[in-house]
Copies of this chain bind each other. A is one copy, B any other.
Amino acid sequence: MPLPAHPKALLIDLAGVLHVGDQIIPGSVEALARLRAAGLPLLFLTNTTRTPLRTLVAKMNALGFAMQEDDLLTAPGATLNLVRSRGLHPHWVVHPDLRSEVGPDAAEPDAVVLGDAGPCFDYATLNAAFRLIQRGLPFIAMARNRTFKEEDGLSLDMGAFVAALEYSTGVTAEIAGKPAAPFFQAALDRLGVAAADTIMVGDDLRDDIGGAQALGIAGVLVRTGKYSPADESHPDIRPDAIHDDFARLAERLI
């Protein structure tokens, strides 16, 4: 489908679109400022689940992307909403930095929730989660991204560990962040816009573009971050537009 002629909102992935690790993607600070000056409503959608919201916002501000906590919709936030709305008491597999955000593990857990424990993923942690899922506890994952771009190359993202547990338990995880439809729907609700008037920009073909398109949101792929040329000939997912980077998309929109 074509991009909306007069988009009323832009949903923006962070890592791989605005920055890679501690490096700004050139032109993205200025592009973001220009979009804001033009009055386009913006919301940042991130599947980053290693970092608490406050730290993430501080990091983005330090890089020069002025933003506040309310400007972000995060996979951990969506997960907490889901857990609270169902009255669950999870066993959490999360990065130590995220522990203060999710609280302690329940003594008698009734769900297993996986975040990106990153370097803290180990056999004992995964086996404990495996045994709880095996006992019949529901399995929720904050995200299932395959890879993410670090300054020294692509790295294994948390989806690998979701796949590991799914394989051995035979249970499919429920995903709270991108590409889950409720996550994108929450973004539209927050901004009060319709899918047909909205654009999502990201570097992850499946989770950003595919996820947005499933709800009727136009998906724009950027050739930065984890982008690979193979993304342009994927058999199932075709971006509504492809730009070299976020700055080029902003030029086009303004």
Contact = CB atoms under 8 A, between A and B. Distances in A.
Interface string A158-194: 0111111111101000000000000000000000000
A126 B160 contact: yes
A157 interface: yes
Interface in A127-154: 127, 130-131, 134, 146-147, 153-154
Nearest to A122: B122
A66 interface: no
Given A119-B123, A122-B121, A157 B164 contact: no
Contact of A168 (B121, B124, B146): B146
A41 interface: no
A136 B164 CA distance: 22
12 contacts: A119-B122, A121-B123, A122-B123, A123-B156, A126-B160, A127-B155, A134-B154, A146-B168, A156-B164, A159-B167, A160-B164, A160-B168
A161 B153 CA distance: 21
Given A163-B167, A164-B163, A168-B147, A123 B127 contact: no
Given A121-B123, A122-B121, A122-B122, A157 B168 contact: yes
Nearest to A117: B123
A253 interface: no
A120 interface: yes
Contact of A130 (B155, B165, B166, B167): B155
Interface in A57-104: none
A167 to B, nearest CB: 4
A130 B153 CA distance: 11
Contacts of A216: none
